[in-house]
Amino acid sequence: MNRRRKLYDGKAKTLYEGPEPGTLIQHFKDDATAFNGKRHEIFDGKGVLNNRISEFIFTRLNQLGIPTHFLRRLNMREQLIREVEIIPLEVVVRNVAAGSIVKRLGLESGTRLPRSIIEFYYKDDQLGDPMVSEEHITAFGWATPQELDDIMTLAVRVNDFLTGLFAGVGIQLVDFKIECGRQYEGDMMRIVVADEISPDSCRLWDIKTSQKLDKDVFREQIGNLVEAYREVAQRLGILTETDNALTTGPRLVKSD
């Protein structure tokens, strides 16, 4: 029986009230959606893997002084996070052309971009998360120019860290998405990295074989998604080859 108050039920995660004021519990589900929710499948073990991979990355970001909402992992599927005010933007950083930029600009998938490019998408499912410019963001007040500066600095620092982390285990970081939030502490406010960083939100290609080790496996239906995510976790040293940490454990009883 789970009596915690559910605050938000997303496509791949659920947020619950945390044990103390200013904290939340982020629960990783096995659900995967693509094409703005038009396709939906459940992959046993995906939530456990994303919880672990995201914990691994956010812990290192915190250690590097890149502020995040992450406090600690609680169990197989859950982590304790700071409550932040989410800025309604998906911040995408691209190093190599793939996905939507290929279609939009007629690039060849796999082409290295002249430099890393940051893009913004307005988070609105009904509108299909349209791409927006810095002008839209500041004009509509989704973020101030100063906040946008901070967001871009964070995005570049996360990109530098992740590029090196993955290169070290034979993986090319093609692109990724982060979300940022405002963390209030007394009179102070700072922008922190929020949400998750996992193969759900990154494009990760094996450097030698170009094999896809991310959510494109599901989008393009080209293999076993959990195996791909497990490979990422193993290479990062999160799971040993024989680790069977994917048993799903007790499931929440649906209250609706």
Please give the residue ranges that form the binding site for ligand UDP (CB under 6 A): 90, 92, 99-101, 129, 175-177, 201-203, 215
Smallest separation, CB 82 to ligand UDP (Å): 21
Smallest separation, CB 103 to ligand UDP (Å): 8
Smallest separation, CB 76 to ligand UDP (Å): 22
Amino acid identity for residue 148 in this structure: L
Smallest separation, CB 118 to ligand UDP (Å): 11
> By C-beta, is 32 or 101 nearer to ligand UDP?
101
- β-strand pairing of 131-132 with 202-206: unpaired
> By C-beta, is 84 or 98 nearer to ligand UDP?
98
HSE toward the beta carbon, residue 158, CA cutoff 13 A: 31
> By C-beta, is 49 or 202 nearer to ligand UDP?
202
> By C-beta, is 55 or 195 nearer to ligand UDP?
195
- Distances in whole angstroms, Cα of residue 250 to Cα of each of 23, 51, 80, 152, 246: 23, 16, 18, 39, 12
Smallest separation, CB 214 to ligand UDP (Å): 7
The DSSP 8-state label assigned to residue 242 in this structure reads T
Q: CB nearest ligand UDP: which residue?
A: 99
Which letter, b or e, does each residue of 11-38 get, where b requires 16 or more Cβ atoms within 10 Å of its Cβ?
Answer: ebbbbbebeeeeebbbbbbbbbbbeeee
> By C-beta, is 25 or 202 nearer to ligand UDP?
202
Number of helices followed by number of strands (H, E) in the chain: 6, 14
Smallest separation, CB 68 to ligand UDP (Å): 16
Residue 172 structure tokens: 């090319």
Residue 4 structure tokens: 């915690």
> By C-beta, is 18 or 97 nearer to ligand UDP?
97
